[in-house]
């Protein structure tokens, strides 16, 4: 991957857990795809949601992501991207620090667990007889 200039997010996206990157640099990860973003200089990486942007000379990310990757705003980032699989995507949903993502994900996990308990309780009389 080329080195890209690191920019801050748009004002409406401050605090969101996403990165904006031109499609040329997304390594086949589609829009709204989750990928492992790794800083090649120090080896730190994290899973992020990728969105597009018109500029192909910059990567846009909020403060928290820049801090975890160890890169400063206005600096350059030599990075690599790897698309995560199904389990990585599910892990991203429940571990995301963005409450707009993690709260609905946890509600879904709890709902699934309650549904499984309901099915087991419903089938219990059939199993016991």
Q: What is the DSSP string of 105-119?
A: HHHHHHHHHHHHHHH
Give the model's pLDDT for residue 87. Answer: 93
pLDDT reading at 43 higher than 70: yes
111 or 123, higher pLDDT: 111
pLDDT at 128 exceeding the cut of 90: no
The mean pLDDT value of the chain amounts to 89
Asked whether the beta carbons of 25 and 77 are under 8 A apart, the reply is no
**How many residues does the structure list for the chain?**
129
Q: Are 20 and 60 in contact (CB under 8 A)?
A: yes
Share of the chain above pLDDT 90, in %: 53
The predicted pLDDT at position 46 comes to 92
Residue 126 pLDDT: 83
pLDDT tier for residue 1 given thresholds of 50, 70 and 90: low
For the stretch 118-127, contacts whose Cβ atoms lie closer than 8 Å and that sit 24 or more positions apart, written own/partner, are none
Contact residues for 57 (Cβ-Cβ < 8 A; gap 6+): 4, 5
The residues pairing with 60 across neighbouring beta strands, listed in sequence order, are 7, 20
d(CA 123, CA 129): 11
């Amino acid at each position: 991957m080329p080195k890209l200039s690191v920019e801050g997010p748009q004002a409406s996206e401050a605090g969101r857990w996403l990165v904006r990157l031109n499609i040329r640099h997304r390594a086949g990860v589609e829009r709204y795809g989750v990928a492992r973003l790794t800083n090649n200089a120090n080896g730190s990486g994290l899973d992020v949601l990728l969105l597009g942007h018109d500029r192909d000379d910059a990567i846009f990310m909020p403060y928290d992501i820049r801090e975890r990757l160890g890169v400063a705003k206005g600096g350059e980032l030599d990075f690599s991207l790897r698309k995560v699989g199904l389990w990585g995507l599910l892990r991203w949903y429940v571990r995301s620090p963005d409450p707009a993502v993690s709260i609905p994900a946890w509600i879904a996990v709890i709902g699934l667990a309650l549904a499984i308990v309901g099915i087991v309780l419903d089938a219990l009389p059939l199993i016991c007889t």
